[in-house]
Structure 1
Amino acid sequence: MTNELDAVTRSANSTPFFIFNLFADYILPYREGWAWTQDLIYLLGLLGLSERAARTTLARMKTRGWFETVKDGRRSRYMLTDLGRAIVAEGDKRIFEEPAPSCDGQWQLVVYSLPEELRVLRNELRKKLVWFGFGNLAPGAWVAAQDRRPEVEELVSRLEIAPYVSLFAGPRIGLMSDAEIVARCWDLPALAAGYDVFLARWQPRLATLAADLEAVPLAERFQQRFWLTFAFQPFPRQDPNLPMDLLPPDWPGFAARALFLHYRELLSAGLPEFLAELPA
């Protein structure tokens, strides 16, 4: 699944990424999981994408097994396959993950040593550990402050690399403090700066919208909600979701997440009507 998700997100402004976002946020919850081709083209047009780019990408995504189509006369409707739904679910799981509870003093440690001929699997393991919130403590050693054992065990089993991987859990017993482990494994200052940029950009914009939401056309609410989510989506791939007591004071990630969730809900007003009456 990691390779499939990476294929979608490799280029953050790619048309496949936009289309998956449309299905995750709009088609699945509001349109019973399917959409006419013309509806997708219309929505993508509101986001600045051409009809040609939309049609070409939809065809390619179908070829990759992410979508299936059903003909109804001269029209076709698109639906996610099981693989496509799994990709959407994997992304949603992290972006809407609740903040971690307080640290219980336990660390998860993954240690691996894969031979060079398995470097493709080694790279996939590394990418997935980052996605799970692990940080690189030393060559071949990754740590997380949350219990990610089920995810790691499933990944190792799927990749068939159990002989090369060990998973441990327990309190810190080394010479490094928790703060030193965090500083070595994650660049929290850079992540905080990214959250600050997100807040500075979106807080005033969304406050203006909220002040007179009824005057904002439904199409514009759709656009703003889409771009808000699009702007927030990189953070789950970068943020290990550390427990509060391992974070610096006034961690901006909490404010950014609260703003994201609040305005997503606010901008959802009228979405069912908008999506039910598309002009396409």
Structure 2
Amino acid sequence: MTPTSSSAWIAHFLASEPPRSKSLVVTIFGDSVAPHGGTMWLGSLIELAAPFGVNDRLLRTSVFRLAQEGWLVASRDRRRSSYAILPQALARFERANRRIYAPLEIRWDGTWTLVMAASGALSAPMRAALRKELVWEGYAQLAPGVFGHPASDSAALDELLGRCGARHQVFVCSASALPQVASRSLPELVAEGWDLSDVSAAYEQFIAQFAPLLALLAPHALQADSAGGPLTAEQAFVIRTLLIHAYRRVQLHDPMLPVELLPDPWPGARAYELARSLYCAVQASAEQHVMAVMRREDAQAPQADGAFYQRFGGLA
């Protein structure tokens, strides 16, 4: 099926790839709630999730589980409940946002960050947890007990080690190649350490899914879809949320290597530009919907903060 309007595109996407409710709530909190103070009444959250086919029961179950997992915290005011991003989880939301919305300008200075655990220094459960977290952060296991990344975020690494209880159990250092010493080429190391084929394919799939939507929106941008029907604020919000939900899923598997070490051409660059174009096209109308929903329960709900308008290099 080739959708002929943005409304048809939304319906087709939700029918073929309905988002999981808990993961969708994380996307909504990261993309839409965090810029407005990080707190939302449950009724408003239910209203925002409804167009995605997430009913009241599923939504309540999702936020309850996210609270149990340390992402959200619940508060009550008489008969109403609200949910907020837990302070301890805020750093993880902020780090994810930097990855999603920041321009692809990671340059390489020739150094590597190495994380090394001596044999027997870690218990088996801690070693498994640390390996999982480092791989999610984009590190590759270069040798038994040795993980490396050529563009490490030191603050993110410190937070990761603290979360795993491994700050004083591992060695962390910076390394670079010795000049005038023969060694294997860097492309070989990258190819052996990081299998980029799945990430590349995921970016290509993202482009194939969302490029037609950009074409549908282009003629009238914020006012209407190409079939002439008005693009409502709610539809703009749904598009923005599905966009970030899909893009985030690919980004979380991207090791975020410096551009000098990536294959050329790299589909991640095209995916970013597509995401940026779509986000800019719908963000103003989407924000109108978010504010309208929030202020139905809270007349003092704040406008989006300044950091929101710096996403994707600056929102028009």
Report the secondary structure of 2:135's partner residue: helix
Report the secondary structure of 1:262's partner residue: helix
| 1:54 and 2:59 matched | yes
- Superposition map of 1:72-151 within 5 A: 73-113=78-118, 115=120, 118-151=123-156
Unaligned runs of 5+ in 2: 1-17, 225-230, 298-316
- Superposition map of 1:170-209 within 5 A: 170-173=175-178, 175-209=183-217
Aligned to 1:25: 31
Q: How far, CA to CA, are the matches of 1:276 and 1:148 in structure 2? A: 33
* Closer, same or farther: CA 146–116 of 1 in aligned 2, 3 Å: closer
Q: How far, CA to CA, are the matches of 2:192 and 2:277 in structure 1? A: 33
1:74-100 CA-partner distances (Å, limit 9, x unpaired) = 433333332343442232233234434
Q: Which amino acid in structure 2 is aligned with residue 185 of structure 1? A: G
1:120-155 CA-partner distances (Å, limit 9, x unpaired) = 211221122223321122222222111444443444
Q: How far, CA to CA, are the matches of 2:159 and 2:290 in structure 1? A: 37
Report the secondary structure of 2:75's partner residue: strand
The TM-score, its normalising length taken from structure 1, stands at: 0.83
Q: Which amino acid in structure 2 is aligned with residue 178 of structure 1? A: L
Q: Where is the helix percentage greater, Structure 1 or Structure 2? A: 1
Q: Which amino acid in structure 2 is aligned with residue 272 of structure 1? A: E
8 Å CA contact 2:237, 2:290 repeated in 1: no
Q: How far, CA to CA, are the matches of 2:165 and 2:59 in structure 1? A: 37
| 1:234 and 2:249 matched | yes
Q: 1:269 aligns with which of 265, 278, 284?
A: 284
Unaligned runs of 5+ in 1: 1-11
Q: 2:40 aligns with which of 26, 29, 35?
A: 35
1:212-255 CA-partner distances (Å, limit 9, x unpaired) = 23121111111111111111112232212222221111111111
Q: Which has the higher contact order (CA 8 A, sep 6+)?
A: 2
Shift of 1:106: 1.5
Q: How far, CA to CA, are the matches of 2:118 and 2:105 in structure 1? A: 29
Bigger mean CA offset, 225-234 vs 188-197? 188-197
Shift of 1:47: 1.0
Q: How far, CA to CA, are the matches of 1:135 and 1:237 in structure 2? A: 15
Aligned to 1:246: 261
Identity of aligned residues (%): 29
Q: How far, CA to CA, are the matches of 1:155 and 1:63 in structure 2? A: 20
Report the secondary structure of 1:152's partner residue: helix
Q: Which amino acid in structure 1 is aligned with residue 190 of structure 2? A: V
The TM-score, its normalising length taken from structure 2, stands at: 0.74
* Closer, same or farther: CA 186–268 of 1 in aligned 2, 3 Å: same
Q: How far, CA to CA, are the matches of 1:131 and 1:105 in structure 2? A: 22
8 Å CA contact 1:36, 1:76 repeated in 2: yes
Report the secondary structure of 2:115's partner residue: strand
Q: How far, CA to CA, are the matches of 1:169 and 1:105 in structure 2? A: 10
Q: Which amino acid in structure 2 is aligned with residue 107 of structure 1? A: W
Aligned to 1:218: 233
Q: Which amino acid in structure 1 is aligned with residue 52 of structure 2? A: L
Bigger mean CA offset, 124-133 vs 41-50? 124-133
Q: Which amino acid in structure 2 is aligned with residue 111 of structure 1? A: M
Q: Which amino acid in structure 1 is aligned with residue 223 of structure 2? A: E
Bigger mean CA offset, 243-252 vs 107-116? 107-116
Q: How far, CA to CA, are the matches of 2:58 and 2:209 in structure 1? A: 29
Report the secondary structure of 1:238's partner residue: coil
8 Å CA contact 2:150, 2:257 repeated in 1: yes
